[in-house]
Amino acid sequence: MDEKENEILGALDVIKHRDINEPSQEDDDFSFEEEKEESLYPEQLGDTSLERAFIGLLLNEIKAISVYNFLYDECYFADEEMLNIYKKILFTDGEKYAPIKAKEGFNFAKETNELYNLKNEVKDEYYNSDLKIDDVYNRLKKLFILRKSYLEIPVKEIQPKIADILNYELYDMMTAEDVKNTVDQVTSTEKFKRAVLNSGLTDFLVKGDNVLTNGLSLPFPILTKVFKGIRKGETSAFSMPSNSGKSRFMINLAAYISLVHQKKVLIISNEMSEEKMKLCLITTILNNPGIQKIHGLNVKVSENELLEFKFRPDNTNDVQVDENGYVMKNEGENQEAFASRLLKVSSQFKMVAQITNWYNENCKNSIYFIDITDHTNEELKKVIMNYYYKEKIEYVFYDTLKTDIDNIGNGEELKKTATILSNLAQNFNMFIGSTLQLAETSTDPINLSVNDMAVSRTVKEVLDTLCLFKQIHTDNLQNYQYSLNETDEQVFELEKFKDPDVRYYSCVVDKNRAGAKPKLLFRLNLAYNSWVELGYLRLKSDTAERSN
């Protein structure tokens, strides 16, 4: 909930729980007039002419207070003076006619000469009025319902819809009960996006700035092209076998969105701890080429080197190093002193410190993290909405998509969780990406399908995009080749590396509402959380023939 919404709720609490004519400890800092200037209501809901008419008619027909009255929690006068005259009628002028229940919750009005004169003025104004008190009362009652709903639902997307009920073509024919029902419909069905389809067609076509074309780029050019970017309102899933780097892939994307696109990101995890996530994040921002362009430092440090605090010196003659060439900690030297010494002898460590300091100073509160093990779907939903309202986070990653605690072991319930995420993405215009578990099957990496999912296959029905990743084992590299474009005749071999951390993954786009579903080749090094999209993957012709 943002600052303005808190203001509104605070003002509502003041108005509804004290007599706004009575002095209070806060009177020096707060007055109804001051709050009125800040516009509790939009113009159409703040019109006070109907209140004045009601009070004028009531003063001329004082016995009518027995029927035409407002209970305390239904009374939403915007004009302080009209409210005070109304209370004067309840407790003085029409005291013997006003029901006891109608007086509950109200304080006595403070009598002043100004109030007395105004009361007479309003009474005279409506002495010979053609207005009917029952009609004015019902109209005011409807207005009070709208004001109350407007203040009690401080959601910026919904409040204008509540105020707009006044402009409905048949509003004058609606009863107070109809207005209540309409407010309920607006608040419950506002999640369904509505429009007049033939409105703004030319702008839609010419400007090309709709969500179908304008997603955020990924660090992978081909996936960006086929998915049309990371688009709000959609849900995506990236599925890999166990221990294949699902969380690291997700952090790679989250860091890219945060640093390259300058967007806030929420990571929800039931897999990796905060400490492991932080270590992986540091590894990513140090080694990712796209992020290196932002901080301007070219450094290469593995996750294990960071974890073990292993850094190489500029000159091995100046310090004592171990058998692998890393600076050794002196006997009795604490971690802080060791780090201080490393800053002087290792440019590598100095750059690492510069980058992490740069991130802290320039990207505060850009990636939020919450560990949500043993949760229900309702708790998951509340977490996402809390960060949405509090921080306006519109890019969310959930690692790993599983059934909630009430349905452990029931794979089909996964679709229910995915549906909740999909509804949130659509209703609040956010992107939600998840990781999924891929089963350890004998399927060739290039032939993966939803049948290789370790969990409910029906989850695919809910998603907008689904990518299936699987490692191509070193012994099978000779069976594959790749091209830079899907129809290119020029192809490239998969190079073998001695480094066991370097791997090749097949990426099969199994679902894509935006169109194409290619099969891609990635080369990665999990030690540096480096993911490189090489091109379009294909089997060599002789291998394809044998497999057929």
Determine the Cα–Cα distance for residues 349 and 355; give it in Å rounded to an integer.
Answer: 10
| Domain boundaries of the chain, sorted by first residue | 3-189, 231-311+346-465
From the list 253, 300, 308, the residue with the least C-alpha distance to 279 is 308
Say which residue the tokens 């991130």 belong to: 359
Determine the Cα–Cα distance for residues 374 and 383; give it in Å rounded to an integer.
Answer: 13
pTM beyond cutoff 0.75:
no
Quick one: angle between helices 414-427 and 377-391, nearest 10?
20
Determine the Cα–Cα distance for residues 150 and 28; give it in Å rounded to an integer.
Answer: 27
E strand map for 372-496: 395-399, 431-437, 465-472, 480-483, 492-493
Hey, what's the torsion of the CAs at 119, 123, 126, 127, to 10 degrees? -170
Sign, CA dihedral 271-508-232-255, equals positive
Contact criterion met (CB below 8 Å) for 146 and 165 = yes
Determine the Cα–Cα distance for residues 453 and 460; give it in Å rounded to an integer.
Answer: 10
Q: Is 102 helix (H, G, I), strand (E, B) or coil?
A: helix
Residue by residue, pLDDT tens for the chain (548 residues) are 444 344 433 433 433 433 333 333 333 333 333 333 455 888 889 989 999 999 999 999 999 999 999 999 999 999 999 999 999 999 999 999 999 999 999 998 888 899 999 999 999 999 999 999 999 999 999 999 999 999 988 787 788 889 999 988 788 888 998 888 888 877 765 544 455 555 566 665 665 555 566 689 999 999 999 999 999 999 999 999 999 999 999 999 999 999 999 999 999 998 888 899 999 999 999 998 888 998 999 999 999 999 999 999 999 888 999 999 999 999 999 999 999 999 999 999 999 999 999 888 877 778 999 888 778 888 888 888 888 878 889 999 999 888 776 666 666 788 889 999 999 999 889 999 999 999 999 999 999 999 998 777 888 999 999 999 999 999 999 999 999 999 999 999 999 998 989 999 999 999 999 989 999 999 999 999 999 999 999 999 866 555 55
Q: What is the CATH number of domain 231-311+346-465?
A: 3.40.50.300
What is the distance of C-alpha 268 from the center of its chain?
A: 12
Residue 441 corresponds to which tokens in the numbers above? Answer: 């099957």
